[in-house]
A and B are shown apart, each in its own frame.
Chain A
Amino acid sequence: MRTEDLINALAADPPAVRPGPGALLPLAAGIAIMILGYGILLDARPDIAEAARSAAFILKLAAAALLAVAAAGTLVRLARPGRSIGPWPYALLLPILLLGGGVVATIAGTPASDWGARLVGTNALACLTVIPALAAAPLAGAIVWLRSRAPTRPASVGALAGILAGSLAAVLYGTTCIDDSPLFVATWYLLAIATVAAAGALLGQRFLRW
């Protein structure tokens, strides 16, 4: 086929593009399913009003929310070819630094004999299962959204989609989980999000090539 022949075929099929946020619908649907699942299966911790005044609880939710914003900002830019990413990947480090600061403050402010208890917390296993379970729907939605875009790095973009889904799930799960110590959050929450990121990378390699 000569290139001129291909152009004949392409020209007969002009792209009709409706501008608007329609492409984001799958991601929005995934997030809605996650919130619905949370509403049906989980409950906010009983002492939430009290917890909302504790620095550790606020730090936990703020770090997760910040991670979600940084991942979303980077993704939006990577989804379009030829667009510069700017400083967005560095924004991913902010929540990590924030948590790191919390860990240092905990270690400095509590006796070494307490560290183990804070690290293990009360329910690390729930954290490692509930966060990925909540993240499944928004991850699937993000992959469907990205398929309609044109990311040139399938595995990294898939991993970022996993970080976005995982950190959104972590914000929700954070309101039910009674472990607030930065030692716990930095270990188990990040591990749970990393699991979702790994799943996202695999999905990306499989579904985001074009």
Chain B
Amino acid sequence: MLLLDRETEWSLLMRAALDGDGEAYARFLRSLAHPLRILVGRGLARARLSPGDVEDVVQETLLAIHLKAATWDRSGPIVPWIAAIARHKAVDMLRRRHRRLEVAIDDLVGDWEVAEENAPQITRSELQTLLSRLPDRQQQVIRSISLDGGTIASTASALGISEGAVRVGLHRGLKALADQARKAGS
């Protein structure tokens, strides 16, 4: 994969993900997080937002990419699609903080090749606060899988529900989380 550029790598992984390859999807999201952080960080740098705000935008962008996956045209390029979603979420954050976007996020696409660093270990993000507003079952499922690193199967047996119910709760919970984030912003 090292020999492929990001466009090729991400569109390959995402195409596999849309065809049902969960492992490719996980790799896609993991390789996306850091470039996204750099991109959003630069776009928001002049607005003097906190690193926590930047990480919130990264998380909301990942969530939007997840929920709007069907809107990527798999015959087209993926980087402009990702950048447009990141830009949309950054503008949303700036509106929340009453600031304006001063650097066009789309222009930074060429600058994505950056050294990998460690992700900032933020302890509390907006999504975490919003998580507590979700129905109990959805909260339990998301916490078990995201914070405790559980699998669908282990979560199902821990909560005493079927794997199908875990999947449904997870998907609905992620959707509700995105809705909460949007409502918090308006």
Contact = CB atoms under 8 A, between A and B. Distances in A.
Partners in one complex: yes
Nearest to B172: A13
Contacts of A16: 18, 20
Nearest to A19: B74
Given A15-B69, A81-B81, A209 B186 contact: yes
Given A14-B17, A14-B22, A82-B82, A5 B71 contact: no
Nearest to A6: B59
Given A9-B146, A15-B70, A3 B58 contact: yes
Interface residues of A, number: 30
Nearest to B33: A3
A67 B74 CA distance: 29
Contacts of B125: 1-2
Interface residues of B, number: 58
B127 interface: yes
A12 B26 CA distance: 8
A106 B70 CA distance: 49
Contact of A13 (B83, B131, B151, B167): B167
Interface string B140-184: 001001110101100000000000000100110010001000100
B66 A8 contact: no
Interface stretch (A34-42, A144-152, A189-197): A144-152
Contacts of A12: 22, 145, 151-152, 170
A15 B58 contact: no
A90 interface: no
B15 to A, nearest CB: 10
A6 B62 contact: yes
B64 A150 contact: yes
Contact of B62 (A7, A15, A150): A7
B73 A81 contact: no
Contacts, number: 121
Interface string B46-87: 000000000100110011101111111110100011111101
Nearest to A4: B119
A53 interface: no
Give the dominant DSSP class at A's interface. loop
A14 B23 CA distance: 9
B25 interface: yes
Contacts of B29: 7, 10-11
B102 interface: no
B127 A15 contact: no
A145 to B, nearest CB: 12
Nearest to A81: B84
A11 B142 CA distance: 12
A10 B128 contact: no
Interface of B: 17-18, 20-22, 25-26, 29-30, 33, 37, 55, 58-59, 62-64, 66-74, 76, 80-85, 87-88, 106, 119, 121-122, 124-125, 127-128, 131, 142, 145-147, 149, 151-152, 167, 170-171, 174, 178, 182, 186
Interface of A: 1-17, 19, 23, 79-83, 148-150, 152, 209-210
17 contacts: A1-B147, A2-B119, A3-B58, A5-B146, A6-B62, A7-B30, A8-B145, A8-B149, A10-B29, A10-B63, A10-B174, A11-B22, A13-B66, A14-B20, A16-B18, A149-B71, A150-B71
